[in-house]
Chain A
C-alpha cells in the first residue's frame, strides 16, 4: 500500500507541477518517502521514470537541472536528526547520462532505450553518482518484473 501511495503521488505530481512524463519530480519527495519507509519497514524506495530513446536527451538535461531534490531530502533528514542518511553537502554530482554495467562490471552509457533511470530515492543516496541515472532496466530481475507487469496489464480485460 505504501508503494501504491508513492506511485499515486508521482502521478499526481505531474498534474500539480504542470509537467509531463518522464520529466516529473515530486516536491519534497523525502517527506512522503520517509513516512512510507518507517510505516512499512521499507529500506529503500526509488522512482525510475520510463524514458524512451526519443526522450533520452531531454531526460538527461532535466536530471542535471533538477538534482536539487537530493539537498531537499538531506535537509529534511537533518531536521529529523537522521544524520546518517542526511549528510548535508553541496558537493552533489551525478552522471549526466543514463548508464549501466556491461558484462564485466564496467560502467557504460546505456543504449538503446527504453530506459528506467534511477531518479528520486528515499533515503537520498550518500553518493548520488553511484545511483542517479543508473538504468534499472539493465538489471535482469527488473527487466523480468517489468515484462510481467506489462503482460499482466495486457490481460486487464480478463481481470
Chain B
C-alpha cells in the first residue's frame, strides 16, 4: 500500500496541474449504524457484538464515515499522504430543520451506489415549553412552543408511500467527493430521493376551495331558481291575459255582429298604431298635452264615424213588448225620434241596437 502511495505521488509530482492542497477529495463509507460506536466512545464501554447489543436495538443512528487525506505539506498538493481524518456523521442531522414548518411528513430516502437504502421522515415536533410562570396572586402562562422539524429514522430500505412516486425529487450528494473518486469502487456516492406523504397532503388540504365551490354553486342555484320563478310567473300572467282576452272577445262576439266587431277592432288597432305615436310626439314637443288634444278627447265620442251599414231599403220592426217592458216614456220618445231621423235621411241608420231584423 505504501509503495502504491509513493508511486502515485511521484506520478502526480510530474503533473503539477492544480495548485492547492485539497485537490484530492475524500471518500464516503457505506451506511452503518454507528450508535454503538458512539456510545462506546462516550461511555467507556466496550463495543457490543454486532447485531446483538441492546444499544443497537434501541438506537438507530445510520451514519457514514467521510475520509479526508492529510498531506505532508499545507501548500504542496503533490506532497505525500501522511494520514487520514475520519469524520463520523449521522445522515439525519442533515435533514433536521432544513424544511419550512409546513413541510411536515416528507419522506427522504437515502440511497447509495453500494446498494443501500434508508428511509427518514421529516416531522414537526413541539420540543419545548419556553416559559411557564404561576404567581400567587395571578396566574400568568406564557406557553410558546418551538416547532422543530426533526428527521426520524424509519428503517433500512425504501419505505416511502408508493403512490407518491410521480412526485419524486432526487439530488446527488456529490459536492464532497471528486469526480475522479466517484468513478472508483470502494466508496459510496449518496443521493436523496424526496417524496411527499399523505400527511403532507392533509396539511395542505384546507376548506377554502370547498367554501368557494359551494358559494359559486349556491349563487348559480339561486340565479336558476330566480329565473324559473320569473318564467313561471310570466307564463301564468300570459295565460291569465289570454284567458281574459278570450272571455272579452267572447262577450264582444255575443254583443255585436261579426262585421261590427271586426270594424271595432280594426278601428282600435289603427288608433293604437298611429294615434298613440302622434300623441306621444305632440306630448313631448309641447311639454304636456296640447289644447287640441284635450278638446279632441272631450268631443271624440261625437266625432268618430258611426259603425253602420247602408241599407237603401229596410223595414224596422220594433218589438213593442220590449219597448213596453221599458217603462220609461223617454225611451219610447227617443226611439221614435231615431226612426224619424232615419227615414228623413232616406236610409236606415241604427245607433242603438235594440233588436232589429233586416228585410
Contacts and interface: CB of A to CB of B under 8 A. Distances in A.
- Does A associate with B in a complex? yes
Interface of A: 2-4, 6-8, 10-12, 14-15, 21-22, 24, 40-50, 52, 84-85, 87, 105, 113-114, 116, 121, 123, 125-127, 130-131, 136-137, 141-142, 144-159
Contacts of A125: 41, 44
13 contacts: A8-B74, A14-B82, A41-B89, A136-B84, A142-B29, A148-B187, A149-B24, A149-B67, A151-B8, A153-B9, A156-B180, A157-B15, A157-B17
A34 to B, nearest CB: 14
A136 B93 CA distance: 25
B47 interface: yes
Nearest to A114: B2
A150 B8 contact: yes
A150 to B, nearest CB: 6
B338 interface: no
B68 interface: yes
Q: What's the interface size class on B, roughly? A: 35 or more
A149 B184 CA distance: 9
Nearest to B32: A141
Contacts of B65: 141-142, 145
Contacts of A142: 29, 65, 67, 84, 86
A150 B96 CA distance: 34
Given A47-B70, A144-B187, 11 more contacts: A6-B68, A7-B71, A12-B74, A24-B82, A42-B87, A46-B85, A50-B81, A113-B2, A141-B65, A142-B29, A156-B180
Interface string B230-252: 00000000000000000000000
Closest 10 CB pairs of A and B: A144-B186, A126-B44, A154-B8, A157-B15, A41-B93, A21-B82, A127-B44, A49-B83, A156-B12, A148-B186
B69 to A, nearest CB: 5
Nearest to B2: A114
B63 A43 contact: yes
B18 A45 contact: no
Given A49-B82, A149-B26, A156 B184 contact: no
B34 interface: yes
B84 A148 contact: no
Contacts of A47: 70, 83-86
A132 to B, nearest CB: 12
B72 A7 contact: no
Contact of B187 (A22, A123, A145): A145
B59 interface: no
Contacts of A131: 41
A159 B70 CA distance: 19
A2 B178 CA distance: 16
A46 B86 CA distance: 5
Interface string B24-41: 111111101010011011
A11 B21 CA distance: 10
A150 B5 contact: yes
A52 B34 CA distance: 29
B60 interface: no
Contacts of B83: 10, 21-22, 47-50, 116
B263 to A, nearest CB: 109
